[in-house]
Amino acid sequence: LAKTTQPISMDSYEGQEVNITCSHNNIATNDYITWYQQFPSQGPRFIIQGYKTKVTNEVASLFIPADRKSSTLSLPRVSLSDTAVYYCLVGDFNNNAGNMLTFGGGTRLMVKP
Amino acid sequence: DTGVSQDPRHKITKRGQNVTFRCDPISEHNRLYWYRQTLGQGPEFLTYFQNEAQLEKSRLLSDRFSAERPKGSFSTLEIQRTEQGDSAMYLCASSFGLAGGETQYFGPGTRLTVL
């Protein structure tokens, strides 16, 4: 699986838009980009997945440039409850075999009042 | 709630004891994964089942670890002769794997403390 690099931590304030960028220079043609969110003492929660350009759901947007060597998770108008660790993962999630997710250290987002 | 459930949520044991954890996946999901997470780190893959077949095992899964998924439903993870280094959060995830995409849904985890 392609290695990912993301900031260790970020601080923000309530109501702001937060953008977390992930680098994945060795992404393969069949690889997708997936983001998970994890609160303390809970399992990771799927946020969003994309292959190219832009994907948006009710929680976040995912921006992927044409070369796909990076991606940006955008959280609009964060609240205190968005304080969590955010993981960027890259892998071939579109195949017919099991996917052993490889998590890095994640980005610890702290939202302040 | 029809999410992934794990039991127990917390387990404290003494070094050398055996422990067993249970995971109940989302009912229609055919794939089940076990991960381990230590403090400050991301989860690490341990093993994976498709239905009742255990198809992958990480080298992290020593001989003291064994996992089963009888009848392709719930799964158990047993650790024999626990060591202090086994202290971690053990996470279970399930998915409905098929060509066209897979999303893994995680349970709340079992936190193991080995004294």
Q: List pLDDT tens digits, range B50-70.
A: 889 998 888 878 899 999 999
Contacts of B73 (CB under 8 A, 6+ apart): B24, B25
When mean pLDDT is compared across A75-89, A99-113, B63-77, the lowest value belongs to A99-113
Confidence at B100, pLDDT banded by 50, 70, 90 = very low
Length of chain B equals 115
Q: Which of A99-103, B5-9, B28-32 has the lowest mean pLDDT?
A: A99-103
CA dihedral B44, B50, B56, B60 (to 10 degrees): 30
pLDDT higher at A105 or A84? A84
- Which chain A residue is nearest to residue B95, measuring alpha carbons? A98
Among the partner residues B41, B106, B109, nearest to A45 by beta-carbon distance = B106
| A46–B105 CB contact, under 8 Å | yes
Q: What CA–CA distance (Å, rounded) separates A96 from B102?
A: 9
Nearest CA-CA partner of B86 in B96, B78, B97:
B78
Query: CB of B58 within 8 Å of any CB in chain A?
Result: yes
Percent of chain A with pLDDT over 90: 74
- How does the average pLDDT of chain B come out, rounded? 91
Which of A42, A44, A100 has the CB atom closest to B45's CB atom?
A100
pLDDT of residue B3: 92
Per-residue confidence (pLDDT) for residue A96, from 0 to 100: 59
B30 touches chain A (CB under 8 A): no
Tens of pLDDT, residues A14-56? 999 999 999 999 998 888 899 999 999 899 999 999 999 999 9
Contact (CB<8Å) B45/A94: no
B39 touches chain A (CB under 8 A): no
